[in-house]
Chain A
Amino acid sequence: MPQDKSRNALPQGSLDMLILRTLLAGPQHGYAIARHLHKASEALIQVEEGSLYPALHRLERRGLIKAEWGPSEANRKAKFYSLTPAGKKSLKIQTSAWQEMQRAIGSIMNYRPVET
């Protein structure tokens, strides 16, 4: 079924943060990360699952995550990603920036001009 990409599209730059947040629970391969994002967002966030891989490789190059090949649950070769200490630090920073942005947007959306 073709996906309507305009609905529930991820805000730019947030995929990295969501990946780091998912890996806080422990090492996972890309497929498990995709399943977690789908389930935890109650299928509201729709991303093409292949887009995870350029993001994962980018995070790996930046040293925020590291990767290791190992057997999957079905005993197939899979690449497992895990957070580095730098990744945990970055996640904290990104989370607090995102929360500030949320507060700022919320203030604007709830703004009611004072009537004079």
Chain B
Amino acid sequence: MSSNELQQDTGCRKETRDPAALADEVGDELMFHFRSLVDDKLAAGLSFDDAWKEAEGQFGPMRRYDMECRMGQIARHGRRRRLAAVSCFVVAVISGWFVFQSHRNAEQGQLRDEIALLRQEQAALKADAVRGGYARQIAGGFDLTGSVVDDSGHPLENVTVLIIRKTWPGGGYRQEAFTVTTNDRGRFVMPEFVPSDDQYGIQVSALKEGFAFQSVYQLKDKQPIARPDPIALRLEHAAPVTLVVRDGAGHPLANVAVIPSARKTPGGNDYMVYFHGSEPVRATTDATGRVCLNCFLAGDQAGIFLRIPGEDWSNREFVVAGENQVVDVATNETKRDPDGS
């Protein structure tokens, strides 16, 4: 087989691109892998330092692999360039080392900055919560972490995560509601959120417009108290449902508050939203008495909380038949003058 035939058959080619650009690509590639390792370990609930150390152990000596890749690229330059490449090699290794180190430090610095910003935000939230009468953080407690993705596995940003924390301080019972939204990597973290020395329960519901909501409940009541399992939710695209609220006379009712409260899937999975702390996901009917809920799937047995202005909250249930379904929600009112008299 001639060298031309070999080139055609294997696609082997002489590298003609700038070695410095290739060196940058090697660094980018290795750092993408390393950063993905760190991200996964952070999502699993490790602290930043532990995640970094474990990732280093799992990846192996990055300097060595970086150098092996670069040396391979030098060899690709063919015989005629080899002499020049060898003299460039020393410069490339030294400059590559500094590029790699600054790249690595920049990545590490960037991750650390993200964690620091998150902690600043949480400190501010803690200060607000303390002013409100109770603390979001429990000193010395376990972190609660979670991630939300769509049905293709892509991270979902700006998911509203409603969290109910149940604790039993001094034998009593306390239930508190919190809200957090996922970041651009679909993750959230509540630092020092649950006690490390006493039983706790957490109910986590994830809602985002256009996706069927899900929830999960954990109860840790056995000593030694375990840290919470990282929350991992995968949301499917929802079937939009339009609710129409009318009175007994058939007149549409505006400003009726509606909150999705439960969904039972055909497969038997139960998901729920606690009423406590559900204000962020409350919707209201418009002047035609309509509100669109885009958080159920076809086939779901859906539950909602509903409140007509001036009345108490009540429950309604219906089955989601399919996309763009219109559900007429009857009320108990039998007579209403649309002019308000």
- The interface residues of chain B, by DSSP majority, are classed as helix
**Residues of A contacting B185 in the complex (Cβ-Cβ under 8 angstroms):** 74
Chain A: number of interface residues, binned into ranges: 20 to 34
Query: A2-B57, A49-B59 known; A62 and B30 CB under 8 Å?
Result: no
Interface residues of A in 25-55 (CB under 8 A from B): 29-31, 34, 48-51, 53-54
Asked if A79 is an interface residue, CB under 8 A from chain B, the answer is: yes
**Residues of A contacting B54 in the complex (Cβ-Cβ under 8 angstroms):** 1
Query: A57-B69, A64-B10, A86-B9 known; A73 and B153 CB under 8 Å?
Result: yes
Interface residues of B in 1-51 (CB under 8 A from A): 9-13, 25-26, 28-30, 32-33, 35-37, 39
Nearest CB in chain B to that of A5: its residue: B60
CB–CB A77/B59 < 8 A? no
CB–CB B32/A62 < 8 A? no
CB–CB A49/B58 < 8 A? yes
Asked if B68 is an interface residue, CB under 8 A from chain A, the answer is: yes
CB–CB B58/A57 < 8 A? no
Asked if A94 is an interface residue, CB under 8 A from chain B, the answer is: no
Chain B: number of interface residues, binned into ranges: 35 or more
Asked if B61 is an interface residue, CB under 8 A from chain A, the answer is: yes
What is A's interface to B at a CB cutoff of 8 Å?
A: 1-3, 29-31, 34, 48-51, 53-54, 57-58, 61-64, 66, 69, 72-74, 76-79, 84, 86
CB–CB B155/A49 < 8 A? no
Query: A31-B33, A53-B69, A61-B72 known; A48 and B59 CB under 8 Å?
Result: yes
CB–CB B154/A73 < 8 A? yes
CA of A58 to CA of B10 in the docked complex: distance in angstroms?
A: 13
